[in-house]
Structure 1
Amino acid sequence: MAKRKVQRRARKILGEEPVALVWCEIHKPIPLPPKEVHRAAGKGRLKPGHHWLLYVGAVVFFFVVVPMILIDKLGKKIDQGLGSRREPHRQTPRERNRSGPQRSKPDRGFAGARADDPASGVFDGDWDLTAGRLLLRWYSHSPNPKRLVMLARDRICVAASPRRRLSPTRADDFRPVAEFPLDAARIEGAAGQPRGFATFRIHFADGSWLEVGRLGEPEDADHFLRTVSA
């Protein structure tokens, strides 16, 4: 459950007690927009920022772990080469069967396969509508992927913290980045979704929609989904 200072900050932003609130994220990578659209929107970042420890870990992996793996594989290859020189390899019946002529199997394809969704299920796919424009600015407001969606009696507010790292239960420096009256946006989500897989969609008046997931704090998520599904 969100701590008191999170609730207090939400009340200050909304000017009233929030009906429901939940931390959430874009649970899939943001699809790549056309270059001219991205340029016109200011070429903002489309990926979240990472903590410096991640970069340290990557350096250690490539310069320490990878060389050790390669050295180990090279040693095994040398051992195998020396062993094959000492004793000629005798083919087993299974190997003889495998080396025989093989019949090529027809490629049946995937039953019911469909073309890849260019929007990846993240939004409706139109970058000129409200959801697309919101996505283009998603990480410009904050490199952290988490956003706090707050429901008031007459509007929906999306807030973000400027920090790269935050604790959803304690963060109290978030600020509003987008606000929509209820006649311009509505939220649809089903109650009782499996923990860790729950999502909801924000539908806008122009027909566009945006889907988010990775809902934080189970109690907040359950209350939020019950509220929007009522």
Structure 2
Amino acid sequence: MAKRAVRRRARKVLGEDPVALVWCEIQKTVPAPPKDVHRAAGKGRLKPGHHWLLYVGGVVFFFVVIPIMLIGKLEDLTTITRPSSRRRSPGPRGRRSRPPRDGATDPTNGVFDGDWNLTAGQLLLRRYGHSPNRKRMVMLARDRICVAASPRRRLSPNKAAGFRSVAEFPLDQARVEGEAGQPRGFATFRIRFADGSWLEMGRLAEPEDADHFLGTVSD
């Protein structure tokens, strides 16, 4: 279960004890919105922030690892004394069947309903303006659903006590749909809004919280 400090923070954010809560993420790539829609929403960031160590790793890879690899290739070439006298004739080249790219048949990639002007689409447009982190806490109260986020780039679901509410919906405006007993690691749920839009969440953290959350919404 979530640590006591996290539950205390959830109680402070909601003003009451949550009925259920769970840390979750959007587990698929969010499709790029149309440019005019993105501009109208304030041109907010569309991708999560990365820790500075990732950028350091990229610099080391491009300026250290790649030059070493190229030097190794050049050394291999200088050891060749003569070219091979035989050339293999290329065999018949048929077309390889390529698997469809993720989201090729579904432009929304299964993330949301596809309408950027409705509630779910607007939440996605402003998602990383609220927090550079992928994780969100969805909390169920007696009369509303609360989506909370931490302003930090990195957090641990067990220790994150600095999250705050970024969106709240009364129960006549949103509901959570999910099934109990889903395989851990693959469980998902949807937040469905009154305007017909929906948003799918997955990667549910803390198995006990996830089981309790899904059991609550499936009742």
The answer on whether the counterparts of 1:29 and 1:47 sit within 8 Å (CA) in structure 2 is: no
SS in 1 for 2:127: coil
Residues 5-42 of structure 1: CA deviation (Å, up to 9, x unaligned): 11011111212211110111111222111111101101
For residues 44 and 59 of structure 2, what CA distance do their matches in structure 1 show? 26
Counterpart-to-counterpart distance in 2, 1:47 and 1:152:
29
Q: Could you tell me which runs of 5 or more consecutive residues in structure 2 were left unpaired when the two chains were aligned.
A: none
Distance 2:39 2:177 in 1: 31
- Residue number among 145, 150, 153 corresponding to 1:161 in the alignment: 150
Shift of 1:137: 0.6
**Distance of 2:91 and 2:65 partners within structure 1:** 41
Q: Give the superposition deviation at 1:110.
A: 7.2
Helix, strand or coil for the counterpart of 1:74? helix
Matched with 2:85 is 89
Write out per-residue CA displacement over residues 156-176 of structure 1, whole angstroms, 9 at most, x where no aligned residue.
Answer: 000011111111111111110
Residues 94-148 of structure 1: per-residue CA shift (max 9 Å, x gap): x5xxx2763x64777879xx95311111100000100000111100011111111
Query: What is the percent sequence identity of the aligned residues?
Result: 72
What letter corresponds to residue 56 of structure 1 in structure 2?
V
1:19 is matched with 19
The alignment's TM-score, normalised by the length of structure 1, stands at: 0.87
Cα distance in 2 between the residues matched to 1:125 and 1:30? 11
Task: After superposition, give the CA deviation of every residue in 1:66-98 in whole Å (9 maximum; x if it has no partner).
Answer: 11112222222332x32x35xx5357xxx5xxx
Relative to structure 1, is the Cα distance of residues 170 and 100 closer, same or farther in structure 2, using a 3 angstrom cutoff?
closer
- Equivalent residue letter for 2:193: F
Q: After the TM superposition, which residues 1-230 of structure 1 pair with which residues of structure 2 at under 5 Å, given as runs?
A: 1-79=1-79, 81-82=80-81, 84=82, 89=85, 95=88, 99=89, 102=92, 105=94, 116-230=105-219
The normalised TM-score by structure 2 is: 0.91
Listed one character per residue, the Cα deviations across residues 42-76 of structure 1 (whole Å, up to 9, x for unaligned) are 10111000010110011111111111112222222
Cα distance in 2 for partners of 1:164, 1:120 equals 25
Give the direction of change, closer, same or farther, for the CA distance of 1:60–1:121 in structure 2 (3 Å limit).
same
State how far apart, in whole Å, the 2-side matches of 1:75 and 1:117 are: 47
Please say which of residues 210-219 and 125-134 is displaced more in the overlay.
210-219
Which has the higher Rg, Structure 1 or Structure 2?
Answer: 1
Residues 37 and 224 of structure 1: CA distance in aligned 2, closer, same or farther (over 3 Å): same
SS state at 1:77 partner = helix
| RMSD between aligned residues | 2.2
Alignment partners' CA distance in 2, 1:48 and 1:106: 37
66-75 or 145-154: bigger deviation: 66-75
Paired residue type of 2:110: G
**Contact in 2 for aligned 1:201/1:210 (Cα 8 Å):** yes
